[in-house]
């Protein structure tokens, strides 16, 4: 089996772009590794009176284009190499959609579903305190990711604000609306994904109506993308979360499924039954007969083992890192288009940027403003990537990397090496 270490994968993807760009070895060496890495081990009091140690990370990959930005993940499989990869991908993502940030990511090794609300709050406040040496509106601005949500962001915002003695809304994004969150932020990533499906269909001359979509992952990103695509006329013919997977060739009734995307736990799909829907295995979901596949769960889902059997005409990556480089090669040979994560799921960080700007200015926009600006940025980035991919005859991921890596390299070169 090929190397599935996410950081090695991120470095391979970077190396491919660096080779094609003819990047100077000096700048290449800078961009290939994260600038700063913080590991924290900290105790949390549990409800039964005991104390347990937890480990977390915050990695800042590159600071050349501005303060660093990226989510915080709570998951039992978090490790330093995963956080490094996710931080590097954030650098490229922010550069690709041209928002003034570098990339970062954080994570805690924990299954949040095993904690009570009180335990989750204490873990969050202590982790926020441990990494607070790095955070600040002009320094490092976290956001939600897998296993975290608006409530977790509220606790982080409150913790940093208590330390400072005044309220610091712009230290974090993805906050609840009533404390400075942005309208449209919860839906932003899924909205971006749905716009990417629309754009690919348009460029391929395919009608959106009746386009058959399969969605892996039914958290914030997957459930929102599915709902918006259904509104656009697509037919959702398969869904899965960590608990269950379903094939519904005649289309799925999403209203019956979707609840608040702000919930903490997955598992919504467990026990679902509807006429025309069959219970299938998680791996089988990815190979269902469909037009569009949206992996919106975790990394390393499409590998050299299943890439040859994927039937979708195109893949839009809602998750970070769902496709390995080996799978990318197989998909490219088979003519399956992949809209890469750093473009496809950039809607979240784009609206995070809007939230940060609104917080700094204390001037808030209506939802239509947010959605219009999001659409303009992500559709514009798609057009640039598509045009470059056509011109250089390369897959969309490589085109996206060429644009992003060049921008980050240029910023580093313009600033020079200190001292």
- Binding-site size for ligand GLU (CB under 6 A) equals 11
Name the phi and psi angles at 192, rounded to 5.
-60, -45
Nearer to ligand GLU, 71 or 190 (CB): 71
**CA-to-CA distance for 288 and 299, rounded, in angstroms?**
19
Nearer to ligand GLU, 238 or 348 (CB): 348
Name the token pair of 93.
């993502």
Nearer to ligand GLU, 107 or 325 (CB): 107
Residue 264 contacts by C-beta under 8 Å, 6 or more apart in sequence? 112, 113, 120, 149, 151
Task: Calculate ∠ Cα 147-322-39, nearest 5°.
Answer: 50
Minimum gap (Å) between residue 323 Cβ and ligand GLU? 15
Q: Does 143 interact with ligand GLU (rule: CB under 6 A)? A: yes
**CA-to-CA distance for 61 and 85, rounded, in angstroms?**
9
Q: Does 349 interact with ligand GLU (rule: CB under 6 A)? A: yes
* Three-state secondary structure readout of 263-330: CCCCCCCCCCCCCCCEEECHHHHHCCCCCEEEECCCCCCECCCCHHHCCCCEEECCCCCCECHHHHHH
Within residues 302-331, the interface with ligand GLU by CB under 6 A covers 320
Strand-pairing partners, residue 278, are 247
Within residues 54-93, the interface with ligand GLU by CB under 6 A covers 69-71
Nearer to ligand GLU, 37 or 304 (CB): 37
Minimum gap (Å) between residue 356 Cβ and ligand GLU? 9
Minimum gap (Å) between residue 64 Cβ and ligand GLU? 17
Contact window for ligand GLU (CB under 6 A) among 278-286, 345-353, 375-383, 408-416: 345-353
Q: Does 352 interact with ligand GLU (rule: CB under 6 A)? A: yes
Instruction: Annotate 10-41 with b (16+ C-beta within 10 A) or e (fewer).
Output: bbbbbebbbebeebeeebbebbeebbeeeebe
Name the token pair of 37.
């890495």
Nearer to ligand GLU, 99 or 398 (CB): 99
To the query of whether residue 45 is one of the catalytic residues in this protein, the response is no
- When CB distances to ligand GLU are compared, the closest residue is 71
Name the token pair of 363.
């001037």
Of the candidates 45, 69, 93, 105, the residue annotated as catalytic is 105
Minimum gap (Å) between residue 98 Cβ and ligand GLU? 15
Minimum gap (Å) between residue 110 Cβ and ligand GLU? 17
Q: Which residues are near ligand GLU by CB under 6 A?
A: 69-71, 143, 145, 173, 320, 345, 348-349, 352
Catalytic residues: 105
């Amino acid at each position: 089996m090929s190397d599935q270490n996410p950081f090695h994968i991120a470095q391979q993807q970077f190396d491919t772009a660096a080779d094609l760009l003819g990047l100077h070895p000096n700048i290449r060496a800078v961009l290939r590794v994260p600038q700063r890495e913080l590991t924290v081990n900290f105790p949390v009091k549990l409800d039964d009176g005991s104390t347990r140690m937890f480990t977390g990370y915050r990695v800042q990959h590159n600071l050349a284009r501005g303060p660093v930005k990226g989510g915080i993940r709570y998951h039992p499989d978090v490790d330093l190499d995963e956080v490094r990869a996710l931080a590097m991908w954030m650098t490229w993502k922010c550069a690709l959609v041209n928002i003034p940030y570098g990339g970062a990511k954080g994570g805690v090794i924990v299954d949040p579903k095993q904690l009570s609300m009180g335990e989750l709050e204490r873990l969050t406040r202590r982790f926020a305190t441990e990494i607070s040496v790095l955070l600040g509106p002009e320094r490092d601005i976290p956001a939600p990711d897998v296993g975290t949500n608006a409530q977790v962001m509220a606790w982080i915002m409150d913790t940093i604000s208590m330390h400072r003695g005044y309220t610091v809304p712009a230290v974090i994004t993805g906050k609840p609306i009533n404390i400075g969150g942005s309208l449209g932020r919860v839906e932003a990533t899924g909205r971006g994904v749905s716009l990417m499906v629309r754009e690919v269909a348009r460029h391929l001359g395919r009608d959106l109506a009746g386009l058959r979509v399969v969605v892996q992952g039914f958290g914030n990103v997957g459930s929102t993308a599915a709902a918006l695509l259904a509104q656009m006329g697509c037919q959702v013919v398969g869904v899965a979360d960590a608990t269950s997977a379903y094939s519904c060739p005649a289309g799925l009734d999403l209203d019956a499924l979707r609840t608040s995307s702000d919930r903490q736990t997955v598992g919504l799909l467990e026990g679902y039954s509807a006429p025309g829907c069959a219970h299938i295995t998680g791996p089988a979901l990815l190979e269902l007969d469909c037009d569009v596949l949206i992996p919106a769960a975790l990394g390393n889902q499409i590998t050299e083992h299943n890439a040859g059997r994927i039937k979708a005409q195109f893949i839009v990556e809602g998750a970070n890192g769902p496709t390995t480089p080996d799978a990318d090669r197989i998909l490219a040979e088979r003519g399956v288009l992949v809209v890469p994560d750093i473009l496809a799921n950039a809607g979240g960080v784009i609206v995070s940027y809007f939230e940060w700007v609104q917080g700094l200015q204390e001037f808030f926009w209506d939802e239509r403003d947010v959605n219009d600006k999001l659409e303009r940025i992500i559709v514009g980035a798609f057009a640039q990537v598509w045009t470059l991919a056509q011109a250089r005859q390369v897959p969309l991921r490589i085109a996206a990397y060429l644009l992003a890596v060049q921008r980050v390299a240029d910023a580093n070169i313009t600033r020079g090496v200190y001292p």
